[in-house]
Amino acid sequence: MTEPRRSTGPTRSREQRPTVAVDLRIARDGTWYHDGAPIRRAALVKLFADALVRGADGAIWLETPAERARVAVDDAPFVAVDVDTEGQGEQQTVIFRTNVGDRVAADAQHPIRVAFGEGGEPAPYVLVRAGLEALIGRAAYYRLVAMGVERRQGDRVMLGVWSGGQFFSLGETGDA
C-alpha cells in the first residue's frame, strides 16, 4: 500500500514565507559562518550560496520554498578567486570563477565595477546574478589589471578590459 501524497500547498511568495532567525554571516574573504563558527563543508556552503537572493529591501536572504533567513554579509556574498579570458581585443570574454564554483562571463548583464575607498584603495566587483556580486579577490584583480588596455574617454585615459563587447573601466591611468 502506498502512502498518500501530502500536499505542500501553494508556493508562498517571498514575503509570505516565514522568516527564521539564524546566525549566518559571510565574511569579506568569502568564509561562511554559523553561530560564529566557520562552515567547513564546501558542499553545504555551495548549497546555501545557490539559495541566496537579494530582497527588495537590499538585504541578502537564504531562501527555501518554505522559509527564509537573513544573511549578514560583510562585503559581497561571493569572491571571484580566478579570472581567465577567451578571445582577444574587443572580442575578448573575461570569465571569473567564484569561491563557490560559479563561472560568470563579464558582459552587459554581468558588469565589472570598481569602487574606490577613502584612501583610493580599489574594491572591484562583478555581478554574478540578480543583485548578487562577487568581490574580485586581490590575485584575480591583479591578473585583470595586467590584461587591461588604455582607452580615452573624453579628456581622461582609462585602464580597463573588454568583455562581451563592453569596455569595463578599472580606473584612470593618470595619463591625460
Place of cell 558582459: 107
Look at residue 5 in the predicted model and tell me its pLDDT. Answer: 43
95 lies in the same domain as 143: yes
Look at residue 1 in the predicted model and tell me its pLDDT. Answer: 42
**Residue that wins the pLDDT comparison between 79 and 64:** 79
Look at residue 101 in the predicted model and tell me its pLDDT. Answer: 96
107 lies in the same domain as 168: yes
Q: Residue 159 falls within a domain, yes or no?
A: yes
* Percentage of residues of the chain with pLDDT beyond 90: 79
Look at residue 99 in the predicted model and tell me its pLDDT. Answer: 97
Look at residue 7 in the predicted model and tell me its pLDDT. Answer: 42
Look at residue 114 in the predicted model and tell me its pLDDT. Answer: 97
Tell me which amino acid residue 115 is.
Answer: A
pLDDT at 92 over 70: yes
93 lies in the same domain as 19: no
66 lies in the same domain as 117: no
**Residue that wins the pLDDT comparison between 29 and 18:** 29
Q: For all residues of the chain together, what is the average pLDDT?
A: 91
Report the domain count for the chain. Answer: 2
d(Cα 51, Cα 42) in Å, to the nearest integer? 14
Cell of 2: 502506498
Calculate the dihedral angle through the C-alpha atoms of 132, 138, 143, 146, rounding to the nearest 10 degrees.
110
98 lies in the same domain as 153: yes
62 lies in the same domain as 82: no
Look at residue 3 in the predicted model and tell me its pLDDT. Answer: 46
92 lies in the same domain as 132: yes
Look at residue 173 in the predicted model and tell me its pLDDT. Answer: 84
* Percentage of residues of the chain with pLDDT beyond 70: 90
DSSP SS3 for 98 = strand
- Identify the CATH number of the domain in which residue 30 sits: 3.10.540.10
What's the DSSP call for residue 59?
Answer: -
* CB distance 93 to 164 below 8 Å: yes
**Residue that wins the pLDDT comparison between 16 and 97:** 97
Range of the domain at 137: 78-172
82 lies in the same domain as 63: no
d(Cα 143, Cα 151) in Å, to the nearest integer? 18
CA 113 from chain centre, in angstroms, equals: 11
Q: Residue 2 falls within a domain, yes or no?
A: no
> Domain boundary residue among 73, 96, 115?
73
> Domain boundary residue among 49, 73, 97?
73
- Identify the CATH number of the domain in which residue 145 sits: 2.30.270.10
Q: What ranges make up the beta strands (E) of 90-155? A: 93-98, 103-105, 112-116, 122-129, 132-136, 149-153
Cα maximum dimension of the chain = 80
Q: Residue 29 falls within a domain, yes or no?
A: yes
Averaged pLDDT for residues 108-115: 97
* CB distance 140 to 96 below 8 Å: yes
At 141-172, the pLDDT tens digits run 999 999 999 999 888 999 999 999 999 999 98
Averaged pLDDT for residues 27-56: 97
Tell me which amino acid residue 129 is.
Answer: R
Sheet of 37-38, strands arranged across: 37-38, 32-34, 24-26, 68-73, 60-63, 52-54
